[in-house]
Structure 1
Amino acid sequence: MKIINFYVDNFRSLSNIRLEDLGGLNVIVGYNGYGKTNLLTAIYLFIKNLNAGIEKRSIEDRDQEYMLLWRDYDITKPISIGGVIEFSEEEVQKSIGKSQKLRVEVVNKLRYNNRFIEWSLESFSVNNSPPTRDQFEEVKSLFSLASQSVEYVPIFDQTYFDAILKKMIEMNRSPINMRRKWYDFVNLIGEVIPEIKGIEFWDSGKLVLNIQNLPIYIDLAASGFQRVILMLFILWLSGRKILLLEEPEVNMYPTLQSRIMKLIKDWTNNNVFQVFITTHSPYIISSTVDNYIIMKKKNGVSSAIKVTLDEQLRTITGILRVNLGDVLFNRLIVLTSELAEPSVILNWLRRIGISNDELGIGIYKVNNELELQLWLKMREMLGLDVIFLGLCDKIDINLKDYCVPLGREIENYYTKGRLIDVIRKFGVYPDEKELRDLTKEETYRWLVNVFKKRGIDYDKIRNSIGELVTMYDGVEMPKEMEILANKIKSLESI
C-alpha cells in the first residue's frame, strides 16, 4: 500500500494542502510550529478512517475534544481529507482474491453537528473511473485492511514503547519454527549497530544487550541504543505498512542516524513500506530521499509544498556552495550584495535585537548575476522567504517590498581605530603614509590596496575582518539595518 497523493484542508493549522506523486521516503521539514506533526496526524487520520465516508460514520464528541481538530476551532466549515492510494497485486489478492493493482481515490468530509462528528463521502474513484457496485464492496474490504497498515511512531511515548517491547518478548518466546525471525532481527541490529554483539531476554523478562561482550540491561544502556533498537523492531515488523516517524533522530548520534536512513531508503526502494518522517536533523536531510515536504506558515495557517531533490536542485546548491539542509531549516533568507559580508550583517542585527539563531535567519552573499538568478530559482522551487539587501536594482519590481537598499561598502562604517587594531592581528602594519591615506580614500579601496601591497587578497579575508571589527558596539551602523530589522520582524509576525 502506498499513498500517491494526499489532500487536507481545515485540519488543525493545515489549509488547502495537496501533495502529489509522493515517493517511498518523504521527509517533512519546517520551522517549529509550522505544522509538521499536524501533517503526520492528518495522514494517520486519513488511513485509519478510509471507510468512514462510505459508512457515513458518526462519532459523539461528549467532551468536545474533537473540536480541536478544526482549524481555529471553527466548526462551521468542514474538514476535507483524502488522497490516492495504490494497492499492490499481492494486497488485492490477499483482500479480495484478484490479482491486479488498484489505485483508489477517496476524499472524505468531516462536519461537526450538535456534538457529533459526521463523515461523508465527497469523491470516490477506482482506477480513475467511478466504481461499479462490485468494486465498491471490494474497495471497502481493501480499506479495512489498509486501516490496520499504518504505524505512527511518536518522539517518545512510554506506553507505546512498552507495547513494542512486549511484542519483542512475544517474538523471542515464539515456537521454534518462528524463532528464525527473531534471529534475523538480532542480526539486523548487529549490522546497524556493530557495538551490539547480541541481544536476549533473561529470566527476569528484561532485555539484555551484549555491548562489546558486556551484558547491559536495555534501560541502563545509552538512550540512543534504546531508541534505535525499538525503532529497528518497528521497521522490521512494518512490511507493507505506511510508517509515520516523528523525529527519529532523537538521542541518536549522527552516524547512527545515517545508518538508519540508509536502511529505510533501501527498504523503501524495495517497496517494503512507505515512510513519512518529520525531522530537524541535517543528517536526515542530507540522506538520499525521494521528496522533501516543506511546511510554511502565514497568518497562522500552514501550507506545504513537495520538492524533489533532482539534478537541477543539486546543481544550484553546488554552484552556490550552500547546504540544502541549512537553507531548509531557516525560516528566512537574507541575500546581501557584494557591498556587505554576512558576518557583519549578523553582528549588526544582533545589536538591534535580531538573533539569527532564535528567528531562523540565514544570510548569504550574492557575488554576481548568475548567483542571484540561481537564488531566485531556488526561492521559487523551495518557497523560500527572502529579503534582499543592496540588490534592489537587480531584482524584479514585484520583489521591491522585500528589498533594502545599501548605498556603500560596509567598511565605510568601521571605526578607524578598531579597524587598524584588527588588521594588525592579521600581521598587517600600515605605515604613516598609508594611515594618512585612510582618511582620504574610501575604506574598502584603502584596505584592498594595503593588503595588495603585501601580496594578500583582501576579499578572501574580508568576512573574517568584518566580523572582528563589528563584534563590538563602538562601530557605527548604517540606518539600513533598522529597515532590514523591521522587514524581518514584519515577516516574523505573519
Structure 2
Amino acid sequence: MITSLHIKNFRGISELRLTDLGQVNVIVGRNNVGKSSILEAISIALGAVNQDTSVLKEILNRVLKWRGWLKRASVYSLFNTPSTPIELTFVTNNTPFSARFMYPSYLPQAIEKEFGIKFDSETLKNMLSESVEIVPVQIKAGSFSRGALILISENGAITITTSNDELYPIEFPVEFVTPYDMNTPGFIEEVFSKAFKVKSYYKALEIIQEAYPEVEGLSPVPEDGSVLMYVDIKHVPKSIPYYSMGDGFKFLSMIAFLVSSTKNGYLLIDSAEAFHHPRSLEVMVRALIKGAKENNVQVFLTTHSLEFIDTILEYGIEEGVNGRIIYIKQEKGELVHSIETFENAKELREILGIDLRG
C-alpha cells in the first residue's frame, strides 16, 4: 500500500507531497486543481516500475487518450515545465520507488549528464511510430548500470528511468479507469475476461444485479471478426448489446468486473460518481469498500458528488476501512491540501455542515 507520494513537474502540478494515505482515498476539490492529474501520476509511477512493460504502455495510452489524443502535444502536456523532468516518488511497504521522465527536446543532454554517456538522438527519431509503445533499454556507463524505458509516440518520445538497479523491480497490479473507458470498444470485454479467468465473474454479476435486478447475465459473443458483449435481460426475447445500454449500467458493470478481479494491487477511478442514480451509487460504494478489504486493494478515486462522499464515509466507517478524504485547492498560485480520516471528515460534515468539495 502506498503510504506517501511525491509528484513534481507533472501536468499542472509543480510539486505536491501527500503523506499518511489510507486504503481508500477520495480526492476532492474544485475543477482544474489537479485531482485527475494525481490519479494519472500514481498510475504512471506504478506502471514505470512494473515488471510487466505492457502495464505502463496500457496506462500511458489511457492517460493520453482520456485528455484527447493530440499526438506530440499529448506527450508534451504531461510536463508542467518542459525543460524539467517529471519526478514521481512513492513509498509502499516501507520501500521507496521513483521514476523520472525526460522530454526529448533536451533528452541527449539529460542522459549524458545523468549517466555520463552519449546518447544518439537519431535513435529516437528513427523509432517514432503512430501508436504508443514501450522500448526497454539498459543504459551502461563503466561499471554503472541502470534501467530505463523509452516511451515512443507519434512525433514524441520520453525516456523513463527508475531509481532501482533492476530494470523492472517488482510487479504492481494497477487498474486506472475513467468514464471514457466504459464506451471504449473492447474494454468491457477485456475486464470481463480478467474476471472470468480468476473466477470472479459471478461476484461481479451479483454487484450488477443489486442495482439492476432485471439483468440475468453478460456474455461476450463473436461477431464480425471480433467479440462483443451482450446483456441478457429478463422478459426480453433477445440479448441486448452492452454498448446500447445506459451509461449508469455500463459504468457500474465496468467497476464491478474490476473490483471483483483486482487483487493485491491498486484501483484508481476518475469521476467515480459518473452517471449513477442513488441505488447504483450505493451499490458501487459498498462494492469498492468490500473489494478493497477482501482483495487487499488500495483505492484512489476522484469525485465532485457530495452524495458520493457521504455514502463512502458512511459505509467506510461501518466496515472499519482505513480511509482518507484528500482536499486539494489552489492558494496564491500554489497547490495546497488537507487530509482527513473518514471519521474526522464525517464529523466535519455532520457537526459543521462543511462541503468537503471546496
Same fold (TM over 0.5): yes
Aligned position for 1:186:
205
Q: State the Cα distance separating 1:30 from its structure 2 match.
A: 0.9
Q: State the Cα distance separating 1:196 from its structure 2 match.
A: 1.9
Q: Is the 8 A contact 1:291 1:309 kept in 2?
A: yes
Mapped to 1, the partners of 2:29 and 2:163 lie a distance apart of 40
Change (3 A) 1:64 1:270: same
Mapped to 2, the partners of 1:203 and 1:112 lie a distance apart of 42
1:200 paired with 2:209, answer: no
1:293 paired with 2:326, answer: yes
Q: State the Cα distance separating 1:281 from its structure 2 match.
A: 1.6
Specify the code of the residue in structure 2 equivalent to 1:79. Answer: I
Using CA pairs under 8 Å that are at least 6 residues apart, name the structure with larger relative contact order, 1 or 2: 2
Change (3 A) 1:306 1:179: closer
Identity of aligned residues (%): 22
Aligned position for 1:264:
288
After superposition, give the CA deviation of every residue in 1:313-336 in whole Å (9 maximum; x if it has no partner): 54454333x1x4xx1234xxxxxx
Aligned position for 1:143:
169
Q: Is the 8 A contact 1:195 1:212 kept in 2?
A: yes
Alignment of 1:102-251 (within 5 A): 103-112=94-103, 114-116=105-107, 140=166, 143-146=169-172, 149-157=173-181, 160=184, 162-168=186-192, 181-201=200-220, 204=223, 206-214=228-236, 215-217=238-240, 218-251=242-275
Change (3 A) 1:50 1:180: closer
Greater helix share, structure number: 1
1:69 paired with 2:78, answer: yes
Aligned position for 2:356:
328
Mapped to 2, the partners of 1:17 and 1:304 lie a distance apart of 9
Greater strand share, structure number: 2
Q: State the Cα distance separating 1:223 from its structure 2 match.
A: 2.1
Specify the code of the residue in structure 2 equivalent to 1:106. Answer: F
Mapped to 2, the partners of 1:256 and 1:189 lie a distance apart of 9
Q: State the Cα distance separating 1:110 from its structure 2 match.
A: 4.0
Specify the code of the residue in structure 2 equivalent to 1:42. Answer: A
**5+ long unaligned stretches in structure 2:** 52-70, 116-161, 317-322
After superposition, give the CA deviation of every residue in 1:56-95 in whole Å (9 maximum; x if it has no partner): xxxxxx9475442222xx3344433201012xxxxxxxxx
Aligned position for 1:7:
6
Q: Is the 8 A contact 1:161 1:230 kept in 2?
A: no
**Alignment length (residue pairs):** 277
Specify the code of the residue in structure 2 equivalent to 1:143. Answer: P
| Secondary structure class of the residue paired with 2:169 | helix
Higher gyration radius (CA) = 1
Mapped to 2, the partners of 1:139 and 1:203 lie a distance apart of 45
Change (3 A) 1:65 1:219: closer
Mapped to 2, the partners of 1:239 and 1:35 lie a distance apart of 27
Change (3 A) 1:3 1:199: same
Change (3 A) 1:12 1:267: same
Q: State the Cα distance separating 1:160 from its structure 2 match.
A: 4.3
Change (3 A) 1:281 1:67: same
Q: Is the 8 A contact 1:202 1:208 kept in 2?
A: yes
Change (3 A) 1:200 1:295: same
Mapped to 1, the partners of 2:38 and 2:198 lie a distance apart of 38
Specify the code of the residue in structure 2 equivalent to 1:152. Answer: F
With normalisation by structure 2, the TM-score equals: 0.66
Q: State the Cα distance separating 1:153 from its structure 2 match.
A: 0.2
Q: Is the 8 A contact 2:11 2:77 kept in 1?
A: yes
Mapped to 2, the partners of 1:75 and 1:137 lie a distance apart of 21
After superposition, give the CA deviation of every residue in 1:227-279 in whole Å (9 maximum; x if it has no partner): 21122112222112211101122221121111111111112223531111111
| Secondary structure class of the residue paired with 1:186 | helix
Specify the code of the residue in structure 2 equivalent to 1:253. Answer: H
| Secondary structure class of the residue paired with 1:209 | strand
Mapped to 2, the partners of 1:235 and 1:47 lie a distance apart of 18
Aligned position for 1:39:
38
